[in-house]
Amino acid sequence: MIFVNLKTYAEGSGQRALDLVRTLEEVATASQIKVIPVVQALDLKEAALVSKLEIWTQRIDPVAYGAHTGSILPEGVVEDGAKGTFLNHSEEKFADFEKLSSAVERAHEVGLKTLVFASDMEELKRVLGLKPTFVAYEPPEFIGSTTTSVAEAAPEVIAQAVEVARMAGVPLVVGAGIHSMADVKKSIELGAVGIAVATDIVKAADPKKELLDLMEGFK
């Protein structure tokens, strides 16, 4: 599976996100490989309307109904069509681990799947204790790179993370600079169940071509 984080890099990104969702569905249908678009909360309802893919949101807050002005309510994203949520992404990390724990709990209460990110092995072990649906280990030095990936530069890190996650019974997803068929192939060979990408697709001159290249790594 491939999680594609449709970040808002430029003006008009909301419409571009919807266009990319359509492209992702086209490629997923042709390849029969699961692709999950991950969109900002404001784009959820529109994305769910234009696509039959499983749509995720980029984050939620650990809140329930009540006085939480500005927060993203888990029930709200479910109502808009979200099936899962990223949590603790490198660009939206929880400063308080207890709040992360509460966010995972709230997500599961409303039926949202979770992919929780960790930036080092110590954090990965703590995150696994929360029993998320998936976990991702992203060493910060490779995040956002279009030239060097964790799969290329540090495959032993993936192997170690996969083993730790396996012992906890949680599937591992690989991110951090994944940008080629070879990166995907190495990640899957090492035991990951899928990959998470953003820059490689969203900033590509031809997102469809780039995604098709990544798909080759699953074969």
Query: pLDDT confidence of 7, banded at 50, 70, 90?
Result: confident
Q: Does domain 2-218 have CATH number 3.90.1150.10?
A: no
pLDDT at 12 over 70: no
Give how far Cα 12 sits from Cα of 17, 19, 126, 187, 198, Å.
9, 11, 38, 33, 17
Residues 19-63: pLDDT tens digits? 999 999 999 999 999 999 999 999 999 999 999 999 999 999 999
Cβ atoms of residues 35 and 217 within 8 Å:
no
Mean pLDDT, range 80-97, rounded to an integer: 94
Q: Calculate the dihedral angle through the C-alpha atoms of 126, 127, 130, 136, rounding to the nearest 10 degrees.
A: -150
Mean pLDDT, range 60-84, rounded to an integer: 95
Residue of 68, 75, 89, 141 marked active site:
89
Residue 92 annotated to the active site = no
Give the pair of three-digit tokens for residue 198.
């953003």
pLDDT at 10 over 50: no
Q: Where are the domains of the chain?
A: 2-218
pLDDT at 44: 94
CB atoms < 10 A from the CB of 64, how many?
A: 14
pLDDT at 217 over 50: yes
* Region of poorest pLDDT, from 8-17, 95-104, 126-135, 149-158: 8-17
Residues 194-216: pLDDT tens digits? 999 988 888 888 999 999 999 99
Residue of 46, 75, 109, 138 marked active site:
138
Query: pLDDT confidence of 3, banded at 50, 70, 90?
Result: very high
**What's the CA gap between 93 and 95, in Å, rounded?**
6
Residues 103-148: pLDDT tens digits? 999 999 999 999 999 988 999 999 999 999 999 988 776 565 556 6
pLDDT at 91: 86
Mean pLDDT, range 174-196, rounded to an integer: 89
Residue 89 annotated to the active site = yes
